[in-house]
């Protein structure tokens, strides 16, 4: 027997990324003395350094304006494309103590989209020791004891389709900057189909390969692999969807450096330009696929399968997603849960019939393919 779970959602929270002046060092932790050397700071990093003031997060401030403009454009375009006459609600809310704000935009019960969220989150605060240590473990140069001011801006999209023949679409772009230090960028776009059409997956990946190739031909294969690795559900031994691209900790000219001199996955001559190009390309990558599949017939069995697969979607978000964990550290719960589908089903030990379209999907999710 299935359990139908309605979910309430509003807007997401970002997790870090960007560009900056320093090279990053991939280490489990960065000591104070190492940090001082890498950052070129003559005096020790401590309370006096943490209280320094200056121009904080200029790149992030520019990115804040960008993501709000893109959000408005996407909501206008998608509401018209949905065809139901409904529009995205607009809910702007403030974080406590001047810690930023969010803009939640949600369309529900549309013709094409059962629930669509396009959300901006702006966060300003001071790094806690726990967050600073998590960042240094990924190679970011920050004071491992925390105390630095930071600013983050993100646009996140989650479009849950009404029809099981139309895939769910998730995407985001984000920027994270630390006072007196680095700026990092991240983002990506991926598809989660319920019924797999190879031509759709090939078209989607081909679109993003062409976008990446415009900057560097090494980016797509690296970011495609990164996406497959990130959106993996170890407990199920399968990937959440057919992927797309994913990148994080991206800086101009490089990213988290390894002992051999750098991580090729995050090589980019202009991280901010690339990230903004990704944001501007989101709808052209998805809407033609949605339009092609929206009128296909389906029945109760296909709808049941869609709800079961949505359960996997939520499992990943709650168990493994870094963005959710970032938001749970003092975030707004309605905003954190924005990505949850409106209805979900869990049934015990569901095994699709061999040779069925459902089994075909699961086989690909267990072993990702090269689509472009």
Q: pLDDT per residue over 54-101, tens digit each?
A: 334 455 678 999 999 999 999 999 999 999 999 999 999 998 888 889
Which pLDDT score is estimated for 62? 86
For residue 225, what are the CA distances in angstroms to 22, 231, 301?
26, 10, 32
The C-alpha R_g of the chain, in whole angstroms, comes to: 21
For residue 250, what are the CA distances in angstroms to 71, 143, 228, 351?
22, 19, 18, 40
**CATH architecture assignment, domain 24-366:** 3-Layer(aba) Sandwich (3.40)
For the cut 80, the answer to whether the pLDDT of residue 103 exceeds it is yes
Interval 325-346 mean pLDDT: 82
For the cut 60, the answer to whether the pLDDT of residue 182 exceeds it is yes
Which pLDDT score is estimated for 147? 62
Dihedral sign from CA coordinates of 200, 202, 207, 208: positive
For the cut 50, the answer to whether the pLDDT of residue 156 exceeds it is yes
For the cut 50, the answer to whether the pLDDT of residue 250 exceeds it is yes
Domain ranges of the chain: 24-366
Q: Which helix (DSSP H) or strand (DSSP E) does residue 327 occupy? A: helix 322-328
Per-residue tokens: 277: 């190009």
pTM (predicted TM-score): 0.80
Which pLDDT score is estimated for 38? 31
């Amino acid at each position: 027997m299935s359990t139908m779970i309605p979910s309430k959602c509003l807007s997401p929270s970002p997790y870090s990324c960007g560009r900056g002046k320093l090279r990053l060092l991939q280490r489990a932790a960065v000591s104070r003395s190492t940090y001082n050397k890498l950052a070129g700071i003559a005096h020790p990093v401590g309370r006096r350094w943490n209280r320094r003031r200056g121009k904080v997060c200029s790149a992030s401030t520019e990115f804040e304006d960008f993501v709000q403009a893109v959000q408005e454009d996407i909501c206008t375009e998608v509401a018209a494309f949905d065809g139901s006459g409904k529009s995205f609600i607009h809910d702007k809310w403030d974080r406590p103590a001047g810690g930023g704000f969010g803009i939640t935009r949600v369309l529900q019960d549309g013709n094409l989209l059962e629930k669509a969220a396009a959300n901006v989150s702006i966060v300003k605060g001071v790094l806690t020791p726990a967050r600073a240590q998590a960042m240094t473990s990924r190679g970011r140069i920050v004071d491992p004891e925390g105390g630095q001011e930071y600013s983050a801006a993100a646009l996140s999209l989650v479009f849950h389709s009404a029809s099981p023949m139309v895939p769910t679409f998730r995407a985001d772009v984000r920027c994270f900057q630390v006072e007196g230090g680095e700026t990092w960028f991240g983002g990506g776009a991926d598809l989660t189909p319920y019924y797999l059409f190879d031509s759709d997956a090939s078209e989607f990946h081909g679109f993003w390969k062409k976008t990446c190739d415009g900057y560097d031909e090494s980016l797509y294969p690296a970011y495609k692999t990164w996406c497959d690795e990130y959106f993996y559900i170890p407990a199920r031994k399968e990937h959440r969807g057919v992927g797309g691209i994913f990148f994080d900790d991206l800086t101009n000219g490089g990213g988290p450096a390894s002992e051999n001199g750098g991580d090729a996955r995050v090589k980019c001559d202009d991280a901010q330009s690339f990230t903004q190009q990704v944001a501007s390309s989101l709808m052209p990558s998805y809407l033609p696929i949605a339009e092609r599949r929206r009128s296909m017939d389906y029945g109760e069995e296909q709808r049941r399968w869609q709800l079961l697969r949505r359960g996997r979607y939520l499992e990943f978000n709650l168990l493994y997603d870094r963005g959710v964990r970032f938001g749970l550290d003092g975030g707004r719960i309605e905003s954190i849960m924005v990505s949850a589908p409106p209805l979900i089903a869990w049934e015990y030990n569901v095994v699709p019939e061999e040779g069925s379209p459902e089994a075909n999907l699961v086989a690909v999710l267990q072993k990702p393919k090269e689509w472009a």
